[in-house]
Structure 1
Amino acid sequence: MARRSNTCRGGAKLDSANELNFSDSSHFLTDGRFFHVHSTAAGKAMLAEYSEERVRKIVQQVGLPKKTEDTITSEELYEELEDIRECGYATNDEEAIKGLWAIEKTVKTPIGDICGSLNLSAPTYLYTEDMEQSAVETLKQQVSIFEDRIKTQFDEMYG
Structure 2
Amino acid sequence: MLRASGIKWDLRKVDHYECYDEFDWEIQWQKEGDSLARYLVRISEMTESIKIIQQALEGIPGGPYENLEIRCFDRERDPEWNDFEYRFISKKPSPTFELPRQELYARMEAPKGELGIFLIGDQSGFPWRWKIRPPGFINLQILPQLVKRMKAGALSH
Could you say which TM-score interval applies, normalised by the shorter chain? under 0.3
TM-score by length of 2: 0.26
Q: Which protein is bigger by CA-based radius of gyration?
A: 2
Q: TM-score, normalised by structure 1?
A: 0.26
